[in-house]
Amino acid sequence: MSYYDLKKTDYFFSVRCKQDDLRFRIKWKLIASTLVQEQKQSGEVCPGLWSYHKIKVDKATVPASAKPAGGKTHLKLKVEVKDWSVTAITAADYVPLKLVPPFAQVKAPDCAKTSTCASPADELGSKTIELCDVHDGHLYYLGLLGTDHCAEYSVTASYFTDTADHSCHALHHAGDAAKNGATEVEAEHFLLRDAEAGEIHDFFLTVDAKHKDDNIVVEVENLSEEEEPESMIVKLFHKEIPVDREAEHLAAFGVHNIFSVAKSAHDVKEGTYYISVEAKKAVKFRVLAMFIHAEMKPGDHSHGEVCPGNMVFHYYQKGDAGAGGHRRRLQGAAPGGGAGKDYRFRAVLHVGDVRYMEAHLHPPLELIPPYRTALTSDPAADHPHADVCRDAHDGKHYIALFGGTECANYEIYLEEIPAGDTCKALKHECAGECEDALCTDVELDHFQYGSCVPGGWQDYKLEVTAANSDNNLLFMVEDLTGNRRPDALGLYHYSNPAGGAWEIPLDRSETERYSDYSTELKWSIAISKHDLKTGRHYFAVKCGPEPVQFRVLAQLAHAGMKHDETVHTSVCPGSWVYHYISVGDDYGGHRRALAGAGPPAPAKNYGHAHFDIYLHSGDMDVLTRHGHPPLKVSTCGRAGRSGGLTKKKARAPVRAHLVQGAGALGEAHEGVPVQPGAGAALRGAAGRPPLRQCVRLPQWRGGPGAEGARPPGGPTRPTD
C-alpha cells in the first residue's frame, strides 16, 4: 500500500487457508516516503504494486557546492536493487500513478538470482536517475513499480550541479535501452531471451516516418520442442505501458508455439511500440518484429507474414493520390485515370493458410464477403490474388490477408496481367467450389476435430441420398477448450435440393437453422425427417472472439421404426425429431374417398402399440399424431394432456400409447384399435436458455399387446 493510498485509520488483514493446514507468520513494516538528502532509505515492493518516495527542495538545505551563482541545481536519486528488479519513474509536483515514458528498469545481476555472486556488493543492481533544474519549494516524486518478484531496494537522494566533467541528463525513453528499461528490437532480427514463470520482459520498436505506412507484425516463438499454447502472453502497446498492463492487442494463445500480434498499416502510427512478454512458465523464446510494406507499384515484390487472428494488407494507388473513387470522367479520357493496363496482386504462399479479400478506397477492417481461402496444403487451391482492371475507378485498391489456422509466410507481387488473361473482380467462394480444399466431408457417427481463429469459419458437407432420407439428421459441435463462453462458437446450416444450384450466401447469417448460443459447450442443429431433403447439406462452424478447438459429430436417427427396433438419438432445445410406424398395407388413414366409390372400408384392428422412451439426461416434450407429423407444441386445458403433450425429465420413462382417438400420453384405451400411420414426435424443451443441454434418447418400442417386449439386454426398469 503506497503512501499515496494510505489513510489514518484501522486496517484489517485476513489470512485464509485453502486445502491444507498451514503454520505461517505475518510481518508488516512502514517504509518512509520522505527522502532526506544523503541518507539511504530502504524499502520493498512486490509485482504490480507501487512504492513512492518524495523530496521537497529547500534551497536552505542544499549544499553550497550544488547551488552556484547563476547556475542550476539538479537532483539525483541513486536506486539500488537486491536480487530482482524494479521499474522507476519520476514526476514533479504530482504522484506518477501510471507507468508512462520515460521510465527506467533497475535490475540486479543474474548472479544474484542464483546466489553465485563473488561478494555481497556484486548482488546489487544500481542506477542513478537525474532530475535537472529543480526549483525551490517544489515536490519531486520517485515511483517504484514491482515487476517479476518482490524486490528489496534502497534510495539515496543528493544534489549536484553541472561541472566540466558532467552535466545533468534527464531520463529519456527512446533509442537507448540502458535508459528506458526495455530492450530495443531491431526489425527483421531475432532476439533471444530466457524467462522464469511470472517474469515480464519488455521490448520496444520505433516507428519512424519511413515505416508509418507499413504493417507491423510481431512474432514471439516459444522454442520448446513441445506444444505449449498457453506458455506466454504477448501484448502490444503504443507510446506507453499502462500500470495495469491491460492491452487490446494481445496474443494469449500460441499456434504451433508462435504468439503473434499485428497492426495493419491503417492503424500504425509514428512513435514507440512496446512489446510485453509475460511468461506463464519457464520458457526460452525469441522475438521477431517485421515491417511489411503496404504500398506497392507495378513490378514491386514484397515479403510478408500473417498469423491467426491478425490481418495485413497491401494496396496500389491507381491514378492521382488525391483522386476519389467515383469522379465523373472527362469526355474522351481513358477509364481509371488513363492507366490503360490491368494489374494483379499475386501472392505465393510458402506455408500456412489465409483468407483474403479486396477493397477499394477504404482499407478492409474486417473479413466480409466476397472473400476466398488459400491453403498451402492443397496444391490445387488458388493462391491469393486480386485484380485492378483498367476501367476501375481511381484511388487505392487493397488486398487484405487474414490469418487462418496457422501462420502464413508469403511473397506478393503487383504485376501486369498477361495478354489473353481476363481481369475480373474477386468472386466469393461458394459451396459447390469448395469440395476438396475448403469443405470437409462429414463421416457419420464419427467425431471429427477442428479449430478456428477468432471470426474464422470451418465448413463441412454431407450428402443426403434417397436411401438415407428417411431419417432425422443431427449435427453437433463441441468446444474442447473449456472456456465456457456461450458465444465461443456458432453453427449454421445451408442446403440445396438435389440437382439444384446453390451457393453459400455472401451473408452467412442468412439461414433459418443456426445455433449461436450455448451454456453447455455444445451447439447443435437437428433436421427432422419431415424437413430433411435429399441433396448436399453444409454445416459452417464460426469461431467467436477467441480461438477454439472443437469436434463435430453428425448422426442420422431412423424415423421409420420396426417392431422391437432400438434407436439411439438426441434432441436439443427448440429442435424436433420424428419417429413413426406404418401399420398395415392399406395405409391411407384419412384419404378422401373417390367419387362414387362408396364409403371407405372400416379400418382394421391391429391391436395396440407403444413407444418406450428412456432419457439419460435433459428434458423434452413428447407428442403423438396420426396421419401427419406434429409441427408445433400446443397445449390447452391441463398441461401435458391435450394434444398428446407430455413433458418429462431425465431418467423418467415415457410410454406413448398409440390408440385411436387417444388424447393424451399414458392413457390406456383398451380395445380401441390403432389406425395406420401413427407416430410420435420428440421436441427439446425450450423453457430455458437456448441449447441448455442435449438429450440422449435410447428408444425402445414394444410389440403388440399391453406391455410388448423389451430388446435383449435392455433395462427392465427405469433405474437401470
DSSP-derived secondary structure for 21-67: -------------B--BT-EEEEEE-BT-EEEEEEE--TTTS-GGGS
Say yes or no: domain 182-292 is CATH 2.60.120.380. yes
Q: Find the range with the poorest average confidence among 68-72, 352-356, 525-529, 643-647.
A: 643-647
Query: Which one, of 313, 255, 288, lies nearest residue 456 by Cα?
Result: 255
Across the range 661-673, mean pLDDT stands at: 32
- Coil, helix or strand at residue 599: coil
Residue of 283, 311, 291, 264 lying closest to 221 (CA atoms) = 283
Closest by CA to 388, choosing from 436, 460, 319, 490, is 319
For 527, the enclosing helix (H) or strand (E) is: strand 522-527
Listed range (20-29, 315-324, 659-668) with the worst mean pLDDT: 659-668
d(CA 116, CA 605): 96
428 Cβ contact list (under 8 Å, min separation 6): 369, 370, 371, 372, 503, 506
Instruction: Assign domain 295-322+335-428 one CATH number from 3.20.20.70, 3.90.870.20, 2.60.120.680, 2.60.120.10.
Output: 2.60.120.680
Specify the pLDDT at position 149.
83
Kindly tell me if the per-residue pLDDT of 588 is higher than 50.
no
- Residue 611: all three cell numbers together: 413407444
Q: Please choose, from the candidates 611, 522, 601, 631, the residue with its C-alpha nearest in 3D space to the C-alpha of residue 567.
A: 611
The model's pTM: 0.45
Q: How far is CA 9 from CA 5, 30, 239, 445, in A?
A: 12, 15, 38, 67
Q: Tell me: pLDDT of 34 over 80.
A: yes
Task: Give yes or no for residue 275 having a pLDDT over 90.
Answer: yes
pLDDT over 50 (residue 435): no
Range with lowest mean pLDDT among 102-116, 305-319, 353-367, 586-600? 586-600
Asked if 564 and 702 touch (Cβ cutoff 8 Å), the reply is yes
For the chain, give the mean pLDDT. 76
Question: Which of 528-537, 648-657, 700-709 has the lowest average pLDDT?
Answer: 700-709
Per-residue pLDDT at 101: 66
Quick one: pLDDT band at residue 378, thresholds 50, 70, 90? Answer: low
Please name which of 365, 182, 196, 373 lies closest in space to residue 289, comparing C-alpha atoms.
182
Tell me which CATH homologous superfamily contains domain 40-179: GOLD domain (2.60.120.680)
Please check whether the two domains, 40-179 and 433-558, share a CATH topology.
yes
Residue 194: closest CA among 287, 86, 69, 57: 287
Report the pLDDT value the prediction gives residue 181, as an integer from 0 to 100. 62
What is the C-alpha to C-alpha distance for residues 629 and 662, in angstroms, rounded to an integer? 16
450-470 tens-digit pLDDT: 888 777 788 888 888 888 888
At 700-714, the pLDDT tens digits run 444 444 344 444 444
Cα separation of 115 and 518, whole Å? 53
What number is the average pLDDT over the span 569-587?
76
Q: Is the dihedral of CA 169, 170, 174, 180 positive or negative?
A: positive
CB 153 within 8 A of CB 129: no
* Mean pLDDT to the nearest integer, 373-382: 67
Question: Which of 218-227, 341-350, 560-569 has the least mean pLDDT?
Answer: 560-569
C-alpha 574/C-alpha 560 separation (Å) is 22
Helix (H) or strand (E) holding 179: helix 177-180
- Helix (H) / strand (E) element for 372: namely strand 371-375
Domain boundaries, the chain: 40-179, 182-292, 295-322+335-428, 433-558, 566-584+605-701
Please, how many CA atoms are within 13 Å of residue 423, restricted to the half-sphere of its CB? 17
The better pLDDT of the pair 598, 112 is held by: 112
Tell me which of 649 and 528 has the higher pLDDT: 528
pLDDT for res 688: 37
How, if at all, do strands 566-571 and 489-495 pair? Answer: unpaired
Q: What is the pLDDT of residue 507?
A: 67
Tens digits of residue pLDDT in 234-250: 999 988 887 778 887 88
- What is the Cβ-side half-sphere exposure of residue 662, based on CA atoms within 13 angstroms? 29
pLDDT band at 445 (very low <50, low <70, confident <90, very high): confident
pLDDT band at 660 (very low <50, low <70, confident <90, very high): very low
Confidence bin at 76 (pLDDT 50/70/90) = very high
Residue 604 — very low, low, confident or very high, per pLDDT cuts 50/70/90? low
Cβ atoms of 613 and 682 closer than 8 Å: yes
Assign 157 a pLDDT band (cuts: 50, 70, 90). Answer: very high
pLDDT at res. 629: 79
CB 274 within 8 A of CB 237: yes
Residue with cell 438435389: 498
Residue 140 confidence class, pLDDT cut points 50, 70, 90 = very high
The band of 314, judged by pLDDT with boundaries at 50, 70 and 90, is very high
Over residues 480-507, the mean pLDDT reads 72
The answer to whether residues 141 and 96 touch, using CB atoms and an 8 Å cutoff, is yes
- Return the SS3 of 235: strand
| Residue 599, pLDDT score | 56
Asked if residues 391 and 285 have their Cβ atoms less than 8 Å apart, the reply is: no
Task: Tell me the backbone φ, ψ of residue 459, rounded to 5 degrees.
Answer: -110, 145
Which amino acid is present at 707?
A: E
Per-residue pLDDT tens digits for 158-191: 999 988 888 888 876 543 333 346 888 888 888 8
Q: How confident is the model at residue 14 (pLDDT cuts 50, 70, 90)?
A: very high
Q: In this predicted structure, what is the pLDDT of residue 35?
A: 94
566-584+605-701 domain in CATH 2.60.120.680? Answer: yes
The dihedrals phi and psi of 589, each to the nearest 5 degrees, come to 45, -95
Which one, of 701, 464, 719, 666, lies nearest residue 567 by Cα?
701
Length of the chain in residues, anyone?
A: 720
Q: What angle do CA 668, 671, 673 make, to 5 degrees?
A: 95
Percent of the chain with pLDDT over 90: 18
CB within 8 A of 225, min separation 6: which ones?
none
* 357: nearest Cα among 366, 349, 348, 302: 366
What pLDDT sits at residue 322? Answer: 57
Q: Which segments of 280-336 are extended strands (E)? A: 283-292, 295-296, 301-306, 311-318
Q: What is the pLDDT of residues 673-699, one digit of tens each?
A: 444 455 666 766 543 333 334 444 544
Give the CATH number of domain 433-558: 2.60.120.380
